[in-house]
Structure formats: structure tokens, C-alpha cells
Amino acid sequence: MDSEIKAALDKLFAADSSLYQARGFQRRIGWGKKPALVNIDLANAWTREGNAFTCEGMDEAIPAVQQVLAAFRARGLPIVFTTTAYEIVDGAHTDMGLWGRKIPTEVLRAGSEAVQIDDRLERRDDEMLIVKKQASAFRGTNLNSYLNACGVDTVVVTGATASACVRATVEDAIADGFRPIIVRECIADRIAGAVEWNLYDMDAKFGDVEPLDAVLDHLRRNQ
């Protein structure tokens, strides 16, 4: 990120933190007893170059996600991947809904390479794949019932984008009674500043944004 933008954001966040904390915001929700890892839209359309949905910073985010995946796999904890894909992208009765009038969802064709999970993450057969139509991983899917069946009370969130699908998922997670832990280094977006602002705001209102090292340390200490 441009140093001037970062300096401006740091100044803004410092002032906002004073206001939030004075009003009782930015509390910590903490970890529960059993976490699941929910990787939001880490499919090629977001992680690789040359797509309308391509995000910045994936060279740093993917290795960070790999570390979190390794920690969850070592403990045998539930892992979920999501992608966004559409069966009908033409005509009057598309399954894109009104969202297709706002963003280029037509490039997210079901079965295409664009909506496949990035192979650098080596998704396994026993790791749930949810194909969603909306921003939130909870909206119109069985994610809630799956997590409940697994005895999960905490969701560790990675993926893209900070301003849309990650944020919508985090907001629905806490609304549905799950503790959201968002891994800072594992979140990406397309626009400079979108990651920083949305992480800051989610941390103030909806979940705990934690650095990668702290998340890995918690998983090591609570085996």
C-alpha cells in the first residue's frame, strides 16, 4: 500500500479507536471450545491474475492461509471452503439474482476454472466445499447446520473480499452465535485501503481480528 494512504488510515483509525473505546466498542469476543476454519472464495477468480474479481496481495495471503490450513489439519478440526458460482448466467431467469446487475457475476460460471479452489491450498475430499450465490457463506447454504453438527462455536475466517464476502460472513457468523476470529494476513481485497478499513471496522463490531502468529499459537497451545 502507498505510504501516504497508510499514514492517513493510521491517523483515522487512531481517532476512531478513541471514539469507539469511549463508547464501549472494540471489546474482545475470544475463542470458544471448538473452532472451524472457513475459507471464503479462495478460488482462481479471486486468487489468480486476469479476472474481474482478482484481488491484490494474494502472494502474501495464500502462504498465510496455507499455515492456518496446516494447523487445522494437524488437529483434525473442521475445514470449509466456499466459492461463488452460477448455473444460469444468461436470460431472464438467471440464478445470479439482482447481484448480477451490480457486479460481473456472469464470469463466475459453475464448472469453470475461475470458480475452482486455488490448487495451492490442496483442498482435501473431507473438507467441505460450499457453493454460494450470495456474499455471505451462511446465506442460503447449510453452513450453519454443518457447523452445529460438528460442535463448532468459533469460526476462523480467511479469504476474499474484506469488503464483501468476508465481511458478510463474519456478520452472519456472530448473528448465528459463532465467535468470529479473522486472520489479518489471510484477508484480501481489490482496492487499496479496503482490507485495512474493513478489518478495523469488523474488529470494532463483529469479531476479533488477530495476527497470524497469534492464531497459530492458540491452535498449538490448545490441542
pLDDT tens digits for range 125-179: 999 999 999 999 999 999 999 999 999 999 999 999 999 999 999 999 999 999 9
* This prediction's pTM: 0.93
Own/partner contacts of 195-200, CB < 8 Å, gap of 24 or more, are 195/57, 195/162, 196/1, 196/6, 196/9, 196/13, 197/9, 197/163, 198/162, 198/163, 198/166, 198/167, 199/162, 200/13, 200/16
Instruction: Inform me whether the pLDDT recorded for 68 exceeds 90.
Output: yes
Q: Is residue 136 within 8 Å of 168, Cβ to Cβ?
A: yes
pLDDT, residue 222, reads 85
Q: Is 165 a catalytic residue?
A: yes
pLDDT, residue 15, reads 60
Question: Which domains, and CATH codes, for the chain?
Answer: 31-221 (3.40.50.850)
Residue whose entry in the numeric block shows the C-alpha cell 460481473: 104
Instruction: Inform me whether the pLDDT recorded for 1 exceeds 90.
Output: no
Q: Is residue 207 within 8 Å of 179, Cβ to Cβ?
A: yes
State pLDDT tens for residues 128-138: 999 999 999 99
The catalytically annotated residue of 55, 150, 165, 186 is 165
